[in-house]
Amino acid sequence: MQSRRLRRDRLASLWLTVAGLGVMALVVVMLGYLISVSWPLLKPPGTTPSSSQVLESRALDTRAADMDEWRIEWLAGNRLQLIQHTDDGLRRSSSLQVPEGLDHRQAHLTQSRQQLWLRMPDRQGDRLWLARLASTTPQGSWQQQWLPGPASLSALEGQLLVTAGPHVFTQWQLNDASAGQVPLARKLGRQEHAAQPITALSVLRGGKSLILGDAGGGLSHYLLPAHASPLIKAGDFDSGLSAPVRTIAAAHHGLGFAALDADGRLGLYLATAERRRQLVDWLSPAQVAAGVELSFQQEDRRLLARPTSVAGGLGALEQAYAGLEIRDPHQVVGLGAIFGKVWYEGRDAPAWIWQLESTGAHEPRLSLVPIMWGTLKVALVGLLFAVPLGLGCAIHVACFMAPRQRARIKPMLEMMEALPTVVIGFIAALVVAPFVERELMAVLLGLVLIPLGTMVAGFVWTLSPRALRSLMPENMAAFGLLPLLMLLLWLDVTLAHQLEAWWFEGDIRQWLFAHHGIDYAQRNTLVTGMALGLAVMPTLFTLSEDALSSVPRGLAAGSAALGATPWQSLRRVILPAAAVGLFSAMMIGMGRAVGETMIVLMVAGNTPLVDASLFEGVRSLAATLAIELPEAEVGSSHYRLLFLAALALFLFTFVVNTLAEVLRLRFMPPQRGGWG
């Protein structure tokens, strides 16, 4: 019989050991999987030189891709016309007489907004000749304009044209031919470049960012802020180039670009957060000195360097100096873009922004700071509601309530933990949020009036005659507070409307916006914190009550024998003895609030903002995963970044809960007892 019992004990012990190790292994596997999916985001890009066989094998594909591009054909008498190779043959535009004195070697033809733009500087680089052909039919008419100022270098994209001399550049805005606007370009501003002399420039995709390269190998980033103001400097790159920058090529997708210096060193960069992606010793100085044109191909997966004399012409691929295969699938993501402030196009200052490319922006804005801040913000606000309620309720139940009452009240409060959070979120979104919006003044006043009124009533009660206080035992005080609570609620609603009319011009929401610029969203942090506090409160109550009940009863009995009142015993004996358990309960409540999904998803408004306002919406890590992960493309930067967010959420909740449990077990008293 005894041996059978020992066998069962050993089997049970073995089973518990295996189960515990299995749980630990599962946690490690989950952590490893999240890291493995997120790690490629931080890997540097890879580059491989293209062999001559690879370049030749793609020559026909490049010719086919270039068939629809317009090119310049020079005619007799210093005239030109544009030609386009199509499947039906050559398509020609009307001819144009070119002024004398232009540098034909620097003729640039660009198609922008269904219009063809032709620009050439004069031989001295003192001005730029600009021509526009809005219609490519033989009857299409040309328009032309001289742009004054240093113009030895120029770049055009979208509605932005930039001309530059050695130490100054000028910004021009192109007008639309369909509206019949003249002149062709309108000067927006002229700016000094205080660094080394400008040797190269390029306008990036979208026509809102300018990259300047100088004689010292430096690269500077200028961009258009909101409302198309003059270009402002966003920052300088750590270029890694030591020789003058000779040419800059903008990528066709996103805000990446390549820069080549006089020594043949190539740098790959991303304008977002001024990040350098890769440095390669690529060409010889002699090749660069002869003139090199860089161009991206194959959806920016290949970079081609070819002589300037054949750049853009048929057969250019066979005459290319070199090709470079680029493997950089996650170039838009980096530590600076994830956690640092970035000055994005169309913004007046650097900011943390979470905004996907699907919104129409030329650069995805994938900073995790707004959703991490939203997670902590809504969790802390939820604890501001849950801690006073849960901890106060636990103190009253464990230390002051009669045993019979405690046996009934405690299970009822613990049963609240089984209430589905989706139900709490549903009620908060459809009932509580409209009510708070309608009675905002009453809610804010009640957060101060009810606790303060209760404490004042308690103080007055202690000053009342002993005969009156003996009518209500201490363990029945909670029921005696119900009439007081109803009175305070009535007083709150009555005073709120008067105060709002006297001090806040009849509408506190309009007053906040007019005087302090604080907007009010119906689904905001305040309402989310109230709902989250209700969801966390049962957990906090249960753990706090267990911590208080585990304090040896002899401690309280000893303090009472020495003449201490129940409140003195609580404040100086019980709470210090249970402090670690109470802190552990709050930490577990924090972890519970951070990981909550449905309430935040339904009530918070899902607005990724970084501010301290309680009246604005928020977005948490858990809500972001629930919303965006089902629609993210597997293997994309967005997909892996969501796994990085899941990793951050996992680590935070795991560390907080583990630390809380370690503290609770480390400092748990050896005896248990109640206060009945």
Which amino acid, residue 567?
W
- pLDDT at position 463, please? 80
- pLDDT at position 557, please? 78
- pLDDT at position 474, please? 64
Q: Which residues, 6 or more positions from 18, have their beta carbon under 8 angstroms from its beta carbon?
A: none
Distance of CA 229 to the CA centre of its chain: 25
What 8-state DSSP symbol labels residue 356?
A: -
- What is the C-alpha to C-alpha distance for residues 591 and 656, in angstroms, rounded to an integer? 6
The string of DSSP codes covering 518-558 is ----SS-HHHHHHHHHHHHHHHHHHHHHHHHHTS-HHHHHH
- pLDDT at position 55, please? 57
- pLDDT at position 382, please? 93
pTM: 0.83
- Collect the ranges in the chain with pLDDT lower than 70: 1, 51-68, 113, 135-140, 177-182, 228, 309-321, 357-362, 469, 472-479, 667-676
Which amino acid, residue 423?
V
- What is the C-alpha to C-alpha distance for residues 537 and 663, in angstroms, rounded to an integer? 20
Given a contact cutoff of 8 angstroms between Cβ atoms, the answer to whether 260 and 294 are in contact is yes
Given a contact cutoff of 8 angstroms between Cβ atoms, the answer to whether 626 and 595 are in contact is no
Neighbours of 70 (CB within 10 A): 18
Q: What are 530-563's pLDDT values in tens digits?
A: 999 999 999 999 989 888 888 887 777 788 787 7
Given a contact cutoff of 8 angstroms between Cβ atoms, the answer to whether 277 and 328 are in contact is yes
- pLDDT at position 525, please? 93
Given a contact cutoff of 8 angstroms between Cβ atoms, the answer to whether 215 and 199 are in contact is yes
The yes/no answer on whether domain 369-638+653-666 falls in CATH 1.10.3720.10 is: yes
**CA gyration radius, the chain:** 35
- What is the C-alpha to C-alpha distance for residues 343 and 303, in angstroms, rounded to an integer? 27
Q: Tell me phi and psi for residue 243, to 5 degrees.
A: -105, 165
Distance of CA 466 to the CA centre of its chain: 61
- pLDDT at position 228, please? 66
User: Domain segments of the chain: what residues?
Assistant: 369-638+653-666
Given a contact cutoff of 8 angstroms between Cβ atoms, the answer to whether 197 and 167 are in contact is yes
Given a contact cutoff of 8 angstroms between Cβ atoms, the answer to whether 188 and 230 are in contact is yes
Count the residues in the chain. Answer: 676
- Can you list the pairs that 411-414 forms with residues at least 24 positions away whose Cβ atoms lie under 8 Å? 413/538, 413/541, 413/542, 414/538, 414/541, 414/542
- pLDDT at position 136, please? 59
- pLDDT at position 181, please? 59
- What is the C-alpha to C-alpha distance for residues 172 and 159, in angstroms, rounded to an integer? 8
Structure tokens at 70: 């317009």
- pLDDT at position 532, please? 93
- What is the C-alpha to C-alpha distance for residues 284 and 659, in angstroms, rounded to an integer? 59
| Distance spanning both ends of the chain, measured CA to CA | 42
- pLDDT at position 220, please? 93
Distances (CA, A) of 297 to 67, 252, 282, 303, 477: 15, 8, 17, 6, 79
